[in-house]
Structure 1
């Protein structure tokens, strides 16, 4: 077809410019209609890993109800927030959204409980970390393309994923430091502004939607969440403007206004930090001593208090914890079954000549990729006595 170049966008000089992308590990002809970062985003949306997020737990095991967030709906909300912030700051929305959409690829079935079990079982063989697993998925485990494994994403995407929690070189415990295949990535400097936005959008999204889901489930109460000054202030504002709302509308007003306040706070604080630092180029962003995308001090205090409350009153609720314990047993039983008889694994996940470490890593990859409902189905088939997580 005729080469129709994507319309150029007016990006800030410190944005990640798709026309200056470092490219991909395996060279490909450029798209006639999409920028490199748009192409990354589209590959993520069409990947198997993205579809599997539909049935992976966020907080509540997905059999608990149709309205609670899953990893997929969480990722979509993160992408919406990231795109909104990037747009205001004249950054590349496609890169920010692509990073947001893929940031949870490495999560196991049953949320953090599944991750904790696999981390413990794999400790003698290199451990397990969901961020490292996301990178492993997009570079190795997706097997859809004729000429490469993974998705062959741009270097900017890969570095954004690797730096999700900051430069790996700054954390001696980072699982990325021991991977020789990352030699072509920059593990030292700060992440791009788009990657920093995706990371903080993750916090904004789950702070809001976990509050929403907790109130919807009846585990959290309006009286209980008032202990957070930010939440109390918003609830007072809602009551003044629309007194006597039913709980569902009151919850929605709380959540949407909290999102707005956090997003606007990040935008304002980021602009202030960049001005103080004299940031003029993407290189300035990389060389800065710390992140530039952040909450203000006041909002950071509120956000920390909100997280503390959610951990204490929601994530550690007895019913939530009971379901997590049962879910952890499902993951542990599956690992034991496949480890004792590797022939139970699908053919593409098992090679008779594999040494133990490689065999168990492939077992871990297989289990980590499962959805909640597939893991429960495999447990019923292979082990039996599958617990009811509802």
Structure 2
């Protein structure tokens, strides 16, 4: 495994150096025992938003089974993969881990269903974006510390959180990519230091490792959950590249292996193959680009921590399979429709009757400004767990769906 970079020391020249951090929005004394990114990781883990991930949907609602992924278990799995990639690529493992642990903090109850519905509800007020909401949580909504709102994370952590999927704007601040048509999310623009995060450049290699770890976890673990939920069968996977070959190899080596172990063999082999591909291809990218600093990675003009073209095609094929067989399966869509109604009903009720929200959410609220009111309601709903959203719906309505 040494050829893939495992166990190699010291840190690569293109890794982020914690001793050279650009600091925090609110100055704080350095910790005598932890690097800035270890400190950030610990603050994220101890945050209220992180704990709530335990009861937020990945694909299946919380009561559908104890063994399906939640946002929390997914996040832990992403962090493990991100840390493995960072170690092999000689990056700062703590920064990669912190970014992986924070990447889904802004998710709503009921997964992407809740996000889509809140985006519709907020369409007249700038829309809703879970990635931007993650930044909003760690810079404003967490209220734990005496001297500042948010978690006051290091610049490198905020940068990676904002743009781990690539640049958000051109050098003259024009939105690009998915933000080209409707502009940057309001939740980004509300952060006073947003333009200081250099939105026109790529993020650090550590942030790129966290982003691709998310892709790897999604592919492997959604296959696992989909099989265990009975949304599709093992035989349905035979036509998929790479996975079909895994199945043949497993059946040859372990004839008669039970389904539970077969599923685990498929997912563990897929994770291993994807991780090793990222390591090989990224090391080749670094060798080709020869970055000598973390800023060289940011200004490389391309993503450095990537799949090979062959694995990119495999990733696309897996997602192409999962979309109709899992994310748009009739059973999942039925629950999505009910979850849509829960979120919309709650938004409409709190928007018309903000006094129904808890006192801390009404504090300082200007009820005459619809934009401010809508954003406050969305912040409150986005922070809910699946369970609490259903509980609140039952509190105010007589026809709460079962979400089954």
Same fold (TM over 0.5): yes
Residue 183 (str. 1) matches residue 195 (str. 2)? yes
User: Which residue of the partner structure matches residue 46 of structure 2?
Assistant: 46
TM-score between both structures, scaled by the size of structure 2: 0.93
**Structure-1 separation of matches of 2:88 and 2:167:** 25
Contact 2:47–2:142 under 8 Å retained in 1:
yes
**Structure-2 separation of matches of 1:341 and 1:178:** 27
Q: Tell me which of 229, 239, 252 is aligned to 1:217.
A: 229
Paired residue secondary structure (2:197): coil
**Structure-2 separation of matches of 1:234 and 1:333:** 46
Residue 92 (str. 1) matches residue 86 (str. 2)? no
Comparing 224-233 with 318-327, which one deviates more in the overlay?
224-233
1:1-390 equivalence runs, <5 A: 10-169=10-169, 170-171=176-177, 172=180, 173-175=183-185, 178-179=189-190, 181=192, 182-350=194-362, 351=364, 353-354=366-367, 355-390=369-404
**Structure-1 separation of matches of 2:45 and 2:365:** 34
**Structure-1 separation of matches of 2:299 and 2:76:** 30
Paired residue secondary structure (2:127): coil
The number of residue pairs the alignment matches comes to 382
Deviation digits for residues 152-211 of structure 1 (CA, Å, limit 9, x no counterpart): 000000000110221111432442774562122211111100000000000000100000
**Structure-1 separation of matches of 2:184 and 2:297:** 22
Residue 352 of structure 1 deviates from its aligned partner by: 5.3
Paired residue secondary structure (1:183): helix
**Structure-1 separation of matches of 2:340 and 2:190:** 28
Contact 1:337–1:383 under 8 Å retained in 2:
no
Q: Which runs of 5 or more residues in structure 2 are unaligned? A: 1-8, 170-175
CA RMSD of aligned residues (A): 1.2
**Structure-1 separation of matches of 2:13 and 2:354:** 53
Contact 1:22–1:155 under 8 Å retained in 2:
yes
**Structure-1 separation of matches of 2:244 and 2:353:** 55
TM-score between both structures, scaled by the size of structure 1: 0.96
**Structure-1 separation of matches of 2:266 and 2:206:** 27
Contact 1:16–1:282 under 8 Å retained in 2:
yes
User: Which residue of the partner structure matches residue 4 of structure 2?
Assistant: none
**Structure-2 separation of matches of 1:344 and 1:180:** 27
**Structure-2 separation of matches of 1:18 and 1:348:** 36
**Structure-2 separation of matches of 1:369 and 1:262:** 32
Paired residue secondary structure (2:152): coil
**Structure-2 separation of matches of 1:278 and 1:152:** 33
